[in-house]
A and B are shown apart, each in its own frame.
Chain A
C-alpha cells in the first residue's frame, strides 16, 4: 500500500475523510438524519391535504329541511361526520377530547322559524387550535351553509312564480381563486421544499462547527496547521472539502427526489435550481465557518449554530410572511442562506420566472461564501493555541 503523504492538501483531505469514516456519529449527521427527514416529510404529507376532517352535527330541529342540510354536509368530500350530537354541550365535549375538529349547529324550531321568516341562525364552530383541519372544515361548513341558503331563497322565489337562474342566486359575483403553480393546494409541495433545505442547513452548520471544534478540543489543530505549512486557508479548505462533496451529493439527491421522483412543480430551468442548491451548500458551510470563527469554542459555536439553525425554520418565513413580522425580527430573515434557497425555489421552480428576478438572491449566496475570510485570523489564532473550555 502506498504511504500517505505527511503534509500538504492531499494529506489533510485524506485525514478528514478517515475522521468521517471512523465515527458513526458523522454517519448519522451526514446521512441518517437528513435522509430520514427527506423521506419522512415527503411521505407523511403524501396525500397533499388531510382529507375527511372528523366533525359533528348537532341537529336540534329534526325537520325535513334540517335533515336535508345534514345530508348535504355528510356528502361533502372534505368532511367526515363521525358524531351526531343532541346538544351543544355534548359536541363541545367531543371537540375538547379531540374526537371532532368542529361542529355544525342547527337550532330548535329551525324549519318553522325559517318558513315563518323569523330568520333562524345557523352556527358552525371550528377548533382553530388545529389550524389546517379547522381551515378545511371552515370552508366545507361555509359552502354547506351557502347552499342551504340558496336552496331556501330558490324555493321562496319559485313559490312566488319568479324564474331565476340558480347559479346567479348562489353567487352573483363569483370570484375564483387561481393558486399559481400549486393548483391542488398540496401541503407537501409547500412544506417540503422549504423545510428539507432548512434541515440540511442546520446539519451543515452543526457538522462544520463540530468537526472544526474537535481539532481544538483534542488539541490536534496544531498538527493540522503544520500539515498545511501554517496556511489556515489550505488547512480549512482541505479539511472541509470532503464534507462539501458529501453535502453536494446529498443536495443533488434532494433536488432529484423532490422535483423528479415526487414530481413537485418544476416550471423553470433545472440549471438555475441546481446552481442555487450548490451555492446553498457552500453558503451554509461559509456561515458555519463564520460562526466558528466568531466563537472558536466547540460548545459555543455549536450553540449558536443550533440557535440560528432552529430559528431559521421560523425566521426564514416559510409559513408566516416577513412583511407581517415585527421589522426588528423580520430583518434577520435576510441573514439566513436557507431563506435565499427558498426564494430562488419559489421564483425558479414554482413560478418559473426569468432568472433576472432572482439575481439578487444569488449574489447573497456569494456574500455568505466570503464571510469566513473575515474570521480567518481568529481561527488561526485559536488553532495555534488550542484550549478546551467546556
Chain B
C-alpha cells in the first residue's frame, strides 16, 4: 500500500516537472502563457479606453432659420454626443456630405418650426442617422431626447406662467423630477462594459490553447520516438494541472485585479472572493484543454481549431446578447461552457459587487463543469490518446 502511494506520488512529481520542462522549452506555449494574458488585455483595453463616443459629426438643414431653430441647434451642439459641423442648403447637399463620410447624422428642421411652438402646437424635427454603428445612433438618440425634454420643460414653464400666473407661484420648475442612476458601469462606458468579460475569456483561451499545444507537442515528441508516456494517467493529469496553476498564478492576478485597476474599470467585488470564484473555471478550462488535446495532432493545429472560438464564447456568454433572449439550443450550449458562467459571475462580482453567495448558481455550475470536463478528459486520455500515442511511439521506434 505504502509503495503504491509512493509510486503514484512519484508519478505526480515527475509529471509536474516534466510539464515545466515541456512548457519552458516550447516558445509557443510560453507565448500563450505570457504574451496572451499580459499583452492582449492591455491592447484591448487601450482600443476601447476612450469609453464613450463623443462629438459625432452632424450637418443641419434648417428651413426655419429663426431664433428657436438656432437654439435647438445650439443645444444639440452643446451635448457631448454631437458636434454640428455645418449647415447645408438643402437635404441633397446634406446627403452628399453623409455619402462622402463627412457626417453621420442630418438634423432637418422644417419650415414653421418656431411658429408652431408659438402657437402651442407640437413642433417636429427629424434626425436622420447613419446606421453603420449603433453607438453613434444611441448618442444621437440620447442627445435628442435630452434636448427635446429640456426645451419642452422650458416651454411648459413659460406656458404655465402665461396661463396660470398663480399656479406658477405655487409650483415653479419641474413638478416631478426624474433621476437615472447607472449601476455597474457608472460612466456608461464601452470599455468598462466589454472588458471585464473579455478578461475572463482571455484567461479561458490562454489555458485551453496552451494545454492544447502541450498535447500536440507531446504527440509530436512521441511520433519522433522519444519520451513515451508511462505511469498513471490521473497522476500525470494532476501533475500537469498543478504545473499550469503554478505558472498561471501571476497572469490570473494581473488579469483579474491589476488590469481593472490600471484602466479603472468597475471593481466592486472582493478580490479574494473573485479568486475563489475563478478557481473552478481555471480547473474546468484545464479539463476542456485535456479534451481538446485528443483532437490536436500537431502543435500548430490549435491556432486553426481554437482561436476563432473566442468569438462564439463571447456571444454565448450573454455579455452582448442577453442569455434570457437566446433560443433554448444556444442557451444550452452556453450552459455547457465554463466561459459563460465565468464571465457572468465575474461581471456580477466585479461590476455589481455581488458576493460569492449571490453567484452561488454560477459557482456550483462551474464546479460541476470542472468535474465533467476532467472526467471526460481522463477518459479520452486513458482510452483514446494513450493507446494511439503508444502505437505511434512503437512504430516510430520500430
Contacts and interface: CB of A to CB of B under 8 A. Distances in A.
A357 B99 contact: yes
Interface stretch (B5-13, B142-150, B256-264): B142-150
Interface string B328-367: 0010000000000000100110011111001100000000
Interface residues on B, range: 35 or more
A89 interface: no
A43 interface: yes
B155 interface: yes
Interface of B: 26-28, 31, 43-44, 46-50, 52-54, 56, 72, 99-101, 117, 120-138, 140-141, 144-145, 147-149, 151-152, 155-156, 159-160, 163-164, 167, 170-171, 173-186, 188, 190, 192-194, 196, 217, 266, 297, 299-301, 303-305, 307-308, 310-312, 315, 318-322, 324-327, 330, 344, 347-348, 351-355, 358-359
A25 B141 CA distance: 47
A156 interface: yes
Interface in A307-336: 309-311, 313-315, 317-321, 324-326, 329
Given A50-B324, A160-B164, A128 B28 contact: no
B175 A321 contact: no
A132 interface: yes
A240 to B, nearest CB: 16
A120 interface: yes
A367 interface: no
Interface residues on A, range: 35 or more
Given A124-B181, A127-B183, A133-B322, A206 B170 contact: no
Given A178-B127, A319-B135, A390 B27 contact: yes
B358 A149 contact: no
Contacts of B164: 157, 160, 162
Nearest to B68: A173
B134 A165 contact: no
A210 interface: yes
A302 B32 CA distance: 12
A324 B54 contact: yes
A178 B122 contact: no
B159 to A, nearest CB: 8
Interface string A175-211: 1111111100101001000010001001100110010
A305 B140 CA distance: 37
Contact of A203 (B72, B132, B308): B308
Contacts of A206: 303-304, 307-308
Interface in A142-156: 142, 145-146, 148-149, 152-153, 156
Nearest to B50: A324
B303 A302 contact: yes
25 contacts: A28-B305, A53-B322, A95-B352, A96-B353, A97-B348, A123-B180, A129-B352, A139-B141, A145-B178, A148-B176, A152-B175, A153-B175, A156-B167, A162-B163, A167-B122, A169-B156, A171-B122, A173-B72, A173-B151, A175-B125, A203-B304, A206-B304, A299-B299, A310-B310, A390-B27
Contact of A299 (B27, B123, B358): B27
Contacts of A126: 180-183
A120 to B, nearest CB: 7
B322 A171 contact: no
A122 B176 contact: yes
A351 B130 contact: yes
Nearest to B109: A175
A40 B183 contact: no
Given A120-B176, A127-B351, 11 more contacts: A40-B312, A102-B183, A142-B180, A152-B176, A173-B125, A174-B124, A175-B124, A213-B300, A324-B53, A326-B50, A347-B99
B121 A168 contact: yes
Q: Give the most central of A53, A127, A135: most B CB within 10 Å.
A: A127
Nearest to A346: B132
B311 A199 contact: yes
Nearest to B334: A44
Given A132-B321, A321-B136, A350-B132, A174 B180 contact: no
B14 to A, nearest CB: 23
A129 B126 contact: no
A276 to B, nearest CB: 15
A265 to B, nearest CB: 9
A172 B354 contact: no
Interface string A247-280: 0000000000000000000000000000000000
A189 B133 CA distance: 11
Interface of A: 25, 28-29, 33, 36-37, 40-41, 43-47, 50-51, 53-54, 93, 95-98, 101-102, 114, 117, 119-135, 138-139, 141-142, 145-146, 148-149, 152-153, 156-157, 160, 162, 164-165, 167-169, 171-182, 185, 187, 190, 195, 199, 202-203, 206-207, 210, 213, 217, 298-299, 302-303, 305-306, 309-311, 313-315, 317-321, 324-326, 329, 342, 346-347, 350-351, 353-354, 357, 390
Given A44-B327, A177-B129, A125 B181 contact: yes
Contacts of B308: 33, 37, 199, 202-203, 206
B110 to A, nearest CB: 11
Contact of A173 (B152, B170, B194): B152
A340 B49 CA distance: 23
A29 B135 contact: no
Given A37-B311, A148-B176, A173-B152, A98 B127 contact: no
Nearest to B166: A160
Q: Which of A28, A178, A320 has the most CB of B within 10 A?
A: A320
A306 B320 CA distance: 22
A171 B131 contact: no
B182 A128 contact: yes
